Amino acid sequence: MKFGVIVFPGSNCDHDAFYAVTSNLGQQAEFVWHDSPSLGNLDAVILPGGFSYGDYLRCGAIAKFSPVMQAVKRFAADGGLVLGICNGFQILVESGLLPGALVRNGNLKFVCREIGLRVETTNSPFTGALQRGQVLHVPIAHGEGCYVADERTLDELEREDRVAFRYVDNPNGSLRDIAGVLNRERNVLGLMPHPERASDPLMGSAEGLGVFQSMLQAAAAVTR
């Protein structure tokens, strides 16, 4: 399987995502520069964490205008797997690929800590290898990770089983404890926690690797 890791100016978890899917998952990956008009031959795309364009104006608000985002949208429309982590989630939301918005944490402070992340659905290519109700220990590291949306959208997300992950102990004020959401077609996932930082036992937890293993499993099913 071949992953593409998008690099925006200011991305800083790009190497971490690359390392997780290559060294920890054992798959191929390449970096894709933000001004690339096309993606080439990829099985999945990761929008990594960081501070794209300094996160000036609003997190992800400038990145959505990057040429590569047009390619990512086409890729998603064709059914390609797109995973947005942290800043990547913010960019997906700003780009309209996912509903809702991410605003400043309830306590207005950046927070880096390991949290419990509950798997809410296994009906997605990102969670297929996990168990419903399973709690993953993965870190968060963000200042603007409070997920908000109007009631109707939240109801719809729940009705359509599109809340992929919830926080066990809500660290940022996210509505209904939401930590990660899927698009309607279920091939785009955005989440604030960092599964790529919990993909190696040496880092204290390898429970995040399940997200990438799910993607691998899903990609293998398609090829078959």
Partner 1 sequence: MSTAAITPEVIEQHQLTPGEYQKIVDILGREPSYTELGIFSVMWSEHCSYKSSRLHLKKLPTRGKLVVQGPGENAGIIDIGGGYVIAFKIESHNHPSFIEPFQGAATGVGGILRDIFTMGARPIAVLDSLRFGRLDSRENGARNRRIVSGVVSGIAHYGNCFGVPTVGGETIFEPCYDGNPLVNVFALGICKKEDVFYAKAAGVGNPVIYVGARTGRDGIHGASMASAEFTEESKQKRPNVQVGDPFMEKLLLEACIEAMKTGAIVGIQDMGAAGLTCSTCEMGSRGEVGIEIELDRVPQRETGMTPYEIMLSESQERMLLVADKGREEEVFRVFRKWGLEAVEIGIVTNDGKLRVRQHGKIVAEIPNRELADEAPLYDRPHTSPPEVHAAPQFPQISVQDALPKLLAAPDICSKRWIWEQYDYQVRTNTLAGPERADAAILRIKETGSSVAMALDGNGRYCYLSPRDGAKLAVAECCRNLSVVGAQPVAATNCLNFGNPERPEIMAQLVEAIEGISEACTFFNTPITGGNVSLYNETLGEGIYPTPVLGIVGLMKTEAPVTMPFKNAGRSVVLLGGIGNCGEGRFGCTQFAKEIAHSLWGLPPELDMEHEKRLQAAIREIIAEGLAESAHDLSDGGLAVTLAECSFGQAGIGAQVDLDSDLRPEILCFHEGPSRVLLSTQNPKRVDEIAARHGIPAPVIGITIEKGIEIRQRSNTLGAWDIAALKKIFDNSLEQQLSTEVTHV
Closest CA to 126 of 217, 19, 28: 217
* C-beta of 92 vs 206, nearer to partner 1: 206
Tell me how far apart the alpha carbons of residues 83 and 73 are, in angstroms, rounded to a whole number: 12
Concerning whether 86 is annotated as a catalytic residue, the answer is: yes
Q: Which of 94, 144, 196, 207 is catalytic?
A: 196
* C-beta of 159 vs 202, nearer to partner 1: 202
Concerning whether 15 is annotated as a catalytic residue, the answer is: no
As measured in angstroms, the least distance from the Cβ of 158 to partner 1 is 30
As measured in angstroms, the least distance from the Cβ of 133 to partner 1 is 22
Question: Interface residues with partner 1 (CB under 8 A)?
Answer: 9-10, 12-13, 15-16, 19-20, 49-51, 53-56, 109-113, 139, 141, 143, 194, 196-197, 199-203
* C-beta of 78 vs 202, nearer to partner 1: 202
Sign of the alpha-carbon torsion through 7, 138, 123, 23: positive
Q: Which of 86, 120, 146, 207 is catalytic?
A: 86
As measured in angstroms, the least distance from the Cβ of 155 to partner 1 is 33
Neighbours of 157 (CB within 10 A): 21
> Residue 187 has what DSSP assignment?
-
* C-beta of 108 vs 221, nearer to partner 1: 108
Concerning whether 160 is annotated as a catalytic residue, the answer is: no
Closest CA to 99 of 149, 54, 136, 65: 149
Q: Are 21 and 49 in contact (CB under 8 A)?
A: no
Q: Are 49 and 141 in contact (CB under 8 A)?
A: yes
Q: Hey, which residues are catalytic here?
A: 86, 194, 196
